[in-house]
Each structure stands twice: as structure tokens, then as C-alpha cells.
């Protein structure tokens, strides 16, 4: 099993640009989670999906953030427009039936 796959692994962009992060969950998993990790705030849940449907997006910072899951094997997290304070490591995780979450390697985002 390849585990959770995220791309890109690193992203450097300028303030105001659109950023799209991608995630492929473990095959067969029905839950998908997006997290953000910073030194200031630690690991924060942004949004999670169950069977491709967003269940709780209360952690999404503001309207500049959006997430989609068009099918069971793909999800995106988009930031538009990006700001320097969005700089963080973004993790995607997946689980089966709400059990143990398996994390991807993360996308390290730097907004200049």
C-alpha cells in the first residue's frame, strides 16, 4: 500500500497567488482529513470528509480556503488568494470507519 499521497511536497508562492494542494487517500478509506501544522498553533483540523461529503469545515480559517473531494480517491485544498500567514505544513490523512488516521508526508507551503 502506498499510503496517503500528497503533492506537491513543497510549494513556494507569492502573496495573492492561488495555491492548490492535492491528496490521494489510502484506497478503501472513507474518511479524509485536512490539517495544518505551524509552530504557533500545532496541528489543527481544517476540514474532514466522509464518503466524499464535507462533514465539518469549522476549522477552515476563512473564505480564502476551500476544499473539495470529487471522488473517493482525490481531494484538493485551495487557498485563493494566499497570504504569508498561510505558510505552514498541510497534512492530509485518511481513515476507515473513523478509526486510526494515517497521515501523508505533508506539503510545506511558503507564501512570500
CB of 72 to another protein, least distance (A): 17
From the list 20-28, 65-73, 78-86, 103-111, the region that binds another protein by CB under 8 A is 103-111
Nearer to another protein, 9 or 27 (CB): 9
Q: Considering only residues 51 through 80, tell me which ones interact with another protein, judged by CB under 8 A.
A: 55-56
- HSE-CB at 19 with a 13 A cutoff on CA atoms is 29
The contact pattern for another protein, residues 9-48, with x = CB under 8 A and - = no contact, is: ----------------------x-x----xxxxxx-x--x
User: Is the sign of the CA dihedral 34, 11, 111, 82 positive or negative?
Assistant: negative
Amino acid at each position: 500500500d502506498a499510503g496517503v499521497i500528497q503533492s506537491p511536497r513543497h510549494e513556494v508562492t507569492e502573496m495573492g497567488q492561488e495555491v492548490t494542494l492535492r491528496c490521494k487517500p489510502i484506497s478503501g478509506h472513507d474518511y479524509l482529513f485536512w490539517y495544518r501544522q505551524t509552530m504557533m498553533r500545532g496541528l489543527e483540523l481544517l476540514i474532514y470528509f466522509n464518503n466524499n461529503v464535507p462533514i465539518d469545515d469549522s476549522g477552515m480559517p476563512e473564505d480564502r480556503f476551500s476544499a473539495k473531494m470529487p471522488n473517493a480517491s482525490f481531494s484538493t485544498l485551495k487557498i485563493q488568494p494566499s497570504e504569508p500567514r498561510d505558510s505552514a505544513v498541510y497534512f492530509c490523512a485518511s481513515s476507515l470507519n473513523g478509526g486510526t488516521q494515517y497521515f501523508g508526508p505533508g506539503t510545506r507551503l511558503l507564501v512570500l
